Amino acid sequence: MLADLRTLNIPWETSSVITTAKNVQTKRDLLERVVRSILQAHAFILNPANRARVVELMTSHLALKSQEDAAAVYDDLLKFYVFKKPYPTRDGFANVISEVAKSLPKAAGIKYEDVVDNSIMEKLDKSGFIDALYK
């Protein structure tokens, strides 16, 4: 490994649901249920009372060699990947677009607004759904 972007504080988008604009329009209910499920999974993972169960699941399902390895992965999840409100970040997408543009120059013209739709996250956030997961 040459560098770990996480420890260098370089924003990078890692946890978005990727789909087409058509699906956002025609399958909105399905996508909202998917996002709800992801948020519920985040709440489960972030709850300290579930640490042992999450580590156990990661050990078996990710074929990790030991519970210690799984615990290290769990700690990384909490620090870098699993958030209460995982909104996509403008800076993270800008860096992804910049990297993609090195291989596909057309990508340089893509803007955050062209590829990100926060409306489902915003709806769930404003409705209190996300906050209720942590009470």
pLDDT, one tens digit per residue, over 58-79 is 999 998 999 999 999 999 999 8
pLDDT over 90 (residue 27): yes
Helices H / strands E in the chain, number of each: 8, 0
- Residue 12: the pLDDT is 85
CB 123 within 8 A of CB 32: yes
Residue 13 lies in a domain: no
Residue 20 lies in a domain: no
- Widest distance between CA atoms in the chain: 47
Residue 110 lies in a domain: yes
pTM: 0.87
Residue 94 lies in a domain: yes
Residue 74 lies in a domain: yes
CA distance 16 to 13: 7
Q: What is the mean pLDDT of residues 95-114?
A: 94
Residue 10 lies in a domain: no
pLDDT over 80 (residue 35): yes
Residue showing tokens 């990790």: 64
pLDDT, one tens digit per residue, over 3-25 is 777 778 888 887 789 999 999 99
